[in-house]
C-alpha cells in the first residue's frame, strides 16, 4: 500500500494501473478533481463581497477548503 498526495493506493490498484499503463500522478489528480466536482458551495453576498474585496480567487479558496475537508474525512 502506498500513499500519494494524500490518497492511499492499494497494491491491487497499483498493479491495475501498471498493467493498463495509467500514470499514477494523473490518476490521483483526476480522482481529486472528480471528488471536488461533487461539492456545491453557496456563498452569501456578504461572503462573496468580502472575498472579492481581498482580490482572492474564489475557486482556489474553495479548492483549498475542499482539500482540507477531504483530508480531515480521510478521503
Q: Which residue has the higher pLDDT, 13 or 75?
A: 13
Let me know whether 43 and 31 are in one domain. no
Q: Which domain covers residue 71, as residue numbers?
A: 39-75
Let me know whether 4 and 16 are in one domain. yes
pLDDT of residue 62: 75
pLDDT above 80: residue 5? no
pTM value? 0.37
The secondary structure of the chain in percent helix, strand, coil, rounded to multiples of 5, reads 65, 10, 30
Let me know whether 27 and 4 are in one domain. yes
Let me know whether 59 and 69 are in one domain. yes
Let me know whether 20 and 53 are in one domain. no
- Phi and psi at residue 3, to the nearest 5°: -110, 130
- Lowest average pLDDT, out of 15-19, 30-34, 63-67, goes to 30-34
The total of structural domains in the chain comes to: 2
Q: Which stretch, 6-10, 18-22, 59-63, 68-72, has highest mean pLDDT? A: 18-22
Amino acid at each position: 500500500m502506498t500513499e500519494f498526495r494524500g490518497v492511499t493506493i492499494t497494491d491491487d490498484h497499483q498493479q491495475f494501473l501498471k498493467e493498463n499503463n495509467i500514470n499514477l500522478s494523473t490518476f490521483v489528480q483526476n480522482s481529486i478533481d472528480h471528488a471536488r466536482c461533487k461539492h456545491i458551495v453557496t456563498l452569501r453576498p456578504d461572503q462573496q463581497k468580502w472575498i472579492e474585496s481581498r482580490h482572492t480567487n474564489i475557486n482556489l479558496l474553495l479548492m483549498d477548503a475542499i482539500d482540507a475537508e477531504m483530508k480531515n474525512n480521510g478521503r
